[in-house]
Amino acid sequence: MAPVTCIRNAEWIVAWDAHQRRHVYRRDVDVVLDGPRISSVGPSYRGHADTVVDGRRLLVMPGLVNLHAHPTTEPANKGIREEHGVPEMYMTGLYERVAAFRLDEEGRQAAAEVAYSELLSSGVTSLLDLSPPFPGWIDLLARSGLRGFVAPGYASARWRLENSYEVQFEWDEPGGRRGLEQAERLIRDVEAHPCARLSGVVYPMQIDACTEDLLRESIALSRRTGRPLVTHAAQSVPEFQLMVRRHGTTPIQWAQDIGLLGPRTILGHAIFIDEHSWLNWWSHRDLDALADTRTSIAHCPTPFARYGQVLEHLGRYLRRGVNVGLGTDVSPHNLLEEMRWAVVLARIAARDITAVATADVFHAATVGGAGALGRDDIGRLAPGCKADLVLVDLDDPSMVPARDPLRSLIYTAAERAVRDVYVDGMQVVANRRVLTLDRPAAAARLAEAQRRMLEAVPRHDYAGRSAEAITPLSLPLVGPEPDSQPG
């Protein structure tokens, strides 16, 4: 028999109201985990329990669903990415950074372990992991305890730079097709993994770096197998301009023309749609195309905010009927902080405090992401759903006073108040410590890998520049002061 855990008399819970299709607060409730599923949510549970957790002074909420992350690269960009951008590229540093800063395989393994630890510590239980495959990836993800949606990436081309103002491409169409075939084989292996928490996602990496044929083959695979499909689209002004030159229309409208949009498709990041103020484009059809086709968006506010860019605006997307999930496309991998950024930036972009509510971003970080992945058994706390949940310490000083515990968590406490995390009924974080991974050891390996990456930058940068020339330290580094002499 599966072990039964009862969280007794939880002071607050975020429960799912199936009739209203929304999260609601409940108080003084027992939550029962029967193996991998929630069996009961209600007062005064009288049945058997192998383990009883005192729920007094706890908020119990569903585990968060992270709809977009690059765990094998982004942790290595700490100290690099925060202020890196290229004005000639309309502020994005994406293309320059990808070309010049290349993490080796050992570094990618360390980065993934650091990122998985950050995710668990901030209450993420389900992760859409967008990564180029590397040895040991799947076993590490399984060992982490996360519910993994594995998206092995492939493309027809790599970005290449010869200057600071134009993106060029190194095309390898046969390589793209081989990448698709390899990804399909890996996905089959993933879905046979004995942990039973992993599933596959079709991932042609960028709409501008894949041929139409490769995208159509990817669409066919997604439809044939029922798997979600994810790609990057409308993520930068250079991409928008390039796609207009190629096809005479916006990235979103071209995606609709070739059948890429649809209820199984997730677009990261769909910021630069035709109505965005940075584009001054004539049409206003992209948002309708996304809503009418039931395409989902993975919204990751932090990396774009660092460039000075925002989605315009989240409230408009939601009111138009676009399904939106949230992701962590940058270090730290902290979805609670992304919720805070999402709601605040939406209000700034709209100049309206009513544009987006706390409930909206919590929905996006749970049910929105789950729906995009085709799942109705995660991201919500209800009988029959997966036993993926988070226990928040209401006595943590950052939560007090906890008049409205979600507001205290999202706007103030974040991961500091996340005490325990369960995935599939198994505890993976206990008293703020990740049980499945060794984050300090992984961070030490990552620091060494970053050092190697920085040393190699001049070999990869188009102008042969050093890492320090591309992204200087935040303060000048000076030598020791000479001894002062009296007099």
Q: In whole angstroms, what is the distance from residue 143 CA to residue 405 CA?
A: 31
pLDDT score of 484 more than 60: no
How large is the average pLDDT for residues 155-179? Answer: 97
Per-residue pLDDT reduced to its tens digit, 375-426? 999 999 999 999 999 999 999 999 999 999 999 999 999 999 999 999 999 9
* Cα 360 to Cα 260, 342, 357, 366, distances in angstroms: 27, 10, 5, 10
User: Three-class SS of residue 122?
Assistant: coil
Q: Report the b/e string of 192-212 with b at 16+ CB within 10 A.
A: ebebebbbbbbbbbbbbbbbe
Burial (CB count <10 Å: 0-12, 13-18, 19+), residue 27: exposed
Q: Contact at 8 Å (CB) between 89 and 96?
A: yes
Q: In whole angstroms, what is the distance from residue 271 CA to residue 279 CA?
A: 11
pTM over the 0.75 mark: yes
Q: Contact at 8 Å (CB) between 264 and 227?
A: yes
Q: In whole angstroms, what is the distance from residue 42 CA to residue 21 CA?
A: 18
Q: In whole angstroms, what is the distance from residue 76 CA to residue 79 CA?
A: 8
Enter the DSSP assignment of 20: T
Q: Are strands 37-42 and 22-34 parallel, antiparallel or unpaired?
A: antiparallel
Instruction: State residue 485's pLDDT score.
Output: 59
Per-residue pLDDT reduced to its tens digit, 14-51? 999 999 999 999 999 999 999 999 999 999 999 999 99
Instruction: State residue 483's pLDDT score.
Output: 63
Q: In whole angstroms, what is the distance from residue 86 CA to residue 165 CA?
A: 8
Per-residue pLDDT reduced to its tens digit, 279-321? 999 999 999 999 999 999 999 999 999 999 999 999 999 999 9
Per-residue pLDDT reduced to its tens digit, 80-126? 999 999 999 999 999 999 999 999 999 999 999 999 999 999 999 99
Q: Is 446 left (phi over 0), alpha (psi -120 to 50) or beta?
A: alpha
Q: Which structure tokens are listed for 95?
A: 């293309």
Instruction: State residue 59's pLDDT score.
Output: 98
